[in-house]
């Protein structure tokens, strides 16, 4: 398939502190010699001069409806993120263009972030850091990973990396997956509808599922009641997968032991949220996937897919428009 122009729509921000550098554009040019690569920071920059683009590379939270609907040559929309909530709107999903996202590159940083949250909670680091600020020398009873059980909700590529690291730390690993397939790092694997079996035995519940209509508020009051009173829930997926009001209540009532939250329903977390002041809650500003190697990995994957696309082969991580992911 002939590709003459590829448009990139992306703006680095404090929330998304990654950038397309010139070497990334060169990677595309080397993959398709002679291709015109256009770099834009806003949708208006692509209108009307670049409506002849064959491919759009963008961030999955963007919704460039006007460009996508007017770009008559548009054959492929690719997100350099895993999440594609901004693109899964009717105006874009109904187009003939194929869609894809970026998967398989987030596992290392997100698994490391998960382990950091687990270890911080077990070793009482939030309390100790607060004591340091107050110049207080006081011991607290720590715990360790050995013999603990982690439950991973959503055993995709990220979930498998989390499972691997947890297993290396001596933890038992249980997980859920829509279609269970054996994994060497998982001791027990359940289909989605058997989530209860995971919740009742896990010391740490790690949420890694994508946000879809089916997973919105997947974890609510009923699920928190099933968890151990000492269990922590860790969310490195999307904030809306957890019913935040139910989470706050579960923490206040002592139904669960604590939480590690890399994402919340409304970001940034409102100043009046009670989560800020809870000593058993660790909050990070949606940084689990951040890495200095992010864009290098993302563009390597895109260029691999681009080779397939121009040779009329199936691209990587093609979005199923019926499922929305």
In this prediction, residue 14 carries a pLDDT of 85
Number of domains, the chain: 2
Would you say 257 and 228 are in contact if contact means Cβ atoms under 8 Å apart? yes
Q: Write out 140-162 in H/E/C secondary structure.
A: CCCCCCCCCEEEEECCCHHHHHH
26 and 135 assigned to the same domain: no
Residue 319 lies in a domain: no
Residue 320 lies in a domain: no
The dihedral built from the CA positions of residue 268, 271, 272 and 277, taken in this order, carries a sign that is positive
Q: What is the pLDDT along the chain (325 residues), one digit of tens a residue?
A: 899 999 999 999 988 889 999 999 999 999 999 999 999 999 999 998 999 999 999 999 999 999 999 999 999 999 999 889 999 999 999 999 999 999 999 999 999 999 999 999 999 999 999 999 999 999 999 999 999 999 999 999 999 999 999 999 999 999 999 999 999 999 999 999 999 999 999 999 999 999 989 999 999 999 999 999 999 999 999 999 999 999 999 999 999 999 999 999 999 999 999 999 999 999 999 999 999 999 999 999 999 999 999 999 999 999 999 888 8
Residue 85 lies in a domain: yes
270 and 295 assigned to the same domain: no
The side-by-side arrangement of strands in the sheet containing 188-190 is 188-190, 172-176, 149-153, 204-207, 232-235, 258-261, 281-283
Residue 89 lies in a domain: yes
The CATH number linked to 177 is 3.40.50.720
121 and 253 assigned to the same domain: yes
**DSSP-assigned letter for residue 227:** S
251 and 178 assigned to the same domain: yes
91 and 22 assigned to the same domain: yes
**DSSP-assigned letter for residue 321:** T
**Helices in the chain by DSSP H: which ranges?**
22-31, 65-70, 90-93, 107-122, 125-133, 157-168, 195-199, 221-226, 244-253, 294-310
Residue 315 lies in a domain: no
Residue 26 lies in a domain: yes
In this prediction, residue 69 carries a pLDDT of 97
Residue 316 lies in a domain: no
158 and 256 assigned to the same domain: yes
Residue 276 tokens, joined: 């800020």
72 and 128 assigned to the same domain: no
193 and 304 assigned to the same domain: no
In this prediction, residue 233 carries a pLDDT of 98
229 and 302 assigned to the same domain: no
Range of the domain at 304: 5-105+291-310
9 and 133 assigned to the same domain: no
62 and 122 assigned to the same domain: no
86 and 15 assigned to the same domain: yes
- To the question of pTM greater than 0.85 for the whole model, the response is yes
Transcribe 81-115 into DSSP letters: SS--TTT-SHHHHTSSSEEE---SSSHHHHHHHHH
Cα–Cα dist 93/95, whole Å = 6
Residue 318 lies in a domain: no
The side-by-side arrangement of strands in the sheet containing 55-58 is 36-40, 5-9, 55-58, 76-79, 98-100
**DSSP-assigned letter for residue 210:** P
Would you say 210 and 218 are in contact if contact means Cβ atoms under 8 Å apart? no
Report helix, strand or coil for 38: strand
Report helix, strand or coil for 176: strand
| Residues belonging to the active site | 238, 267, 286
């Amino acid at each position: 398939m002939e590709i003459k122009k590829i448009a990139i729509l992306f703006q680095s921000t404090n929330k998304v502190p990654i950038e397309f550098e010139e070497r990334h554009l060169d990677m595309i040019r080397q993959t398709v010699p002679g291709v015109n690569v256009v770099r834009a920071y806003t949708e208006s920059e692509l209108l009307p001069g670049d409506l002849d683009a064959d491919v759009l590379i963008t961030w999955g939270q963007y919704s460039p409806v006007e460009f996508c609907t007017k770009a008559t040559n548009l054959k492929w929309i690719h997100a350099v993120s895993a999440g594609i909530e901004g693109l899964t709107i009717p105006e874009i999903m109904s187009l003939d263009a194929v869609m894809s996202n970026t998967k398989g590159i987030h596992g290392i940083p997100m698994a490391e972030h998960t382990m950091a949250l687990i270890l911080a909670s077990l070793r009482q680091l939030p309390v100790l850091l607060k004591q340091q600020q107050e110049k207080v020398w006081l011991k607290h009873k720590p715990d360790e990973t050995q013999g603990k059980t982690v439950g991973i909700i959503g055993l995709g590529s990220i979930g498998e990396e989390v499972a691997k690291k947890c297993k290396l730390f001596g933890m038992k690993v249980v997980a859920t997956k829509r279609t269970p397939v054996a994994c060497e790092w998982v001791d027990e694997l359940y289909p989605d509808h058997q989530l209860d079996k995971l919740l009742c035995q896990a010391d740490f519940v790690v949420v890694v599922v994508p946000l879809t209509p089916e997973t919105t508020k997947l974890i609510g009051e009923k699920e928190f009641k099933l968890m151990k009173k000492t269990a922590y829930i860790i969310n490195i997926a999307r904030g809306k997968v957890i019913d935040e009001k139910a989470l706050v209540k579960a923490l206040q009532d002592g139904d669960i032991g604590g939480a590690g939250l890399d994402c919340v329903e409304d970001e940034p977390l409102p100043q009046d949220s009670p989560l800020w002041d809870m000593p058993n809650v660790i909050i990070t500003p949606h940084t689990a996937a951040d890495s200095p190697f992010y864009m290098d990995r993302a563009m390597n994957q895109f260029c691999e897919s681009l080779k397939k696309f121009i040779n009329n082969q199936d691209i990587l991580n093609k979005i199923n428009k019926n499922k929305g992911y």
